[in-house]
Structure 1
């Protein structure tokens, strides 16, 4: 009997080095069964390496990783039987039809000819690809090709699905179709680990977010909790862009935060510290005193973009401080 209380995806202290590059540096991860986890981070943060370790494509140097209770090193075959993987680049063959691609995937997974045909037909109908099923994949749009690639990862009805940037380069309509597919799978009980560069995508789909930087998790939690943890966003929109600098000074002095200026949008925004409240009447009086004419002044919940920028900047600042301390220690030792 399976342990339903155990996370469907687990990583504990996982490290992975490629030559001089440490792609993963003690990564911890726990994804409950039947949920969607969004794995976010800058380019090179280690997201794809984490997926490759979990999918048994590369072995970790240290630490442990388990999928559906199976160790990815000691029980790699068992892991492969329960997972689906859609990577950044489509794995389907463009020289054959969509239907034949799915049948081939089924045969490769030992479904048998009859079951492979039945499964291909089921998936093509379910994910609105039946009308294009007998066309060569090279005639598909980019969105259709990515959707077929995602469908191919579902041929074996996996309980755990890894999606590595599945909507990169897609137009908004195609992206929405992929989102609908992921939500349908999660609603049906599939555990999904999603890496993405689109923060709106993670906000829409993920039950929990893990932010990774330099191979380690720097924040974990539901999107709303991560947003609340960095405070509120104060935004001022101006009539005259020449007053942006003066507005930034007022906002920084009142909140203690670093103001961000968007010249094109004529806005100045700042993230307040958690627990710091900004009274709009007081802010308006300060702006009036500085001669600033504001079209709009608002306090808003920060976006996931704000969370990402704040966390990765904090991580970068911490690394710079550590490097400076090490340099100072080395200098004193010399």
Structure 2
């Protein structure tokens, strides 16, 4: 069985979709459905069962995986867990409750990590490009990492913790530094949904999309990010699942930065109408905002990962097709 934490979330749901495509439905989803709207992310996919995050955490701490499933699975034996793909986290970059962030992102991840190490279970987890902060070199090394918000720090600190474990363990540990991911199943994220989703909603309402004006030496809408389509990010997870002999921390992006204007123009081109409106850069984001990100993919390619990443035009067009099909 494959365990996907955060399985009802954005990237988690897309990983489940890719697992289904590969013929796998022996999946245990672990999540927190206090926000019940997230169930819609799983409706189209096949899973074996669901477990609340708190119950799962309690179970792995005791190493006796008795989970109160209604489907009769009952005890989930440790030896039946093929891998844990850990996507569960608070991804709100504007959240400044450090105690909550560190408990949810750092301590929880450490507990899962040590469970996997004890039982030699492959562990693939979500890191973030937020660990780089305002650096302009994006290589998976400590010298380039300086997060500018507590979310980025929680991910950075866990990466550092993992680096200390890697030389000592005999099972797979993989961290993926996600860059700017966009695509299906992000609707529940609210303000943290991608620019592509916000532009889609703005266009539908006003035939206008809004972008930040000039800031940090960039012209209006020309701040650069590495935008990665979520399907591609999910495929990278599955590539590592198929290569359990490979461990490490790797960037997960396209390797090519594109301006925010490319997102907006791709949507306007898709519909054949509309305009861009530039707004003043918000004061509260100044000093806590990445104006440029671009994944260095050298290490990912050196290990043989051959997942192809869509450019913005291709990915956004596919995303618009999905949004229209689902009438969102």
- Scaled by the length of structure 1, the TM-score of the pair is 0.30
- Scaled by the length of structure 2, the TM-score of the pair is 0.30
Structure richer in strand, relative to its length? 1
Work out which of the two has the higher radius of gyration on C-alpha atoms and give 1 or 2.
Answer: 1
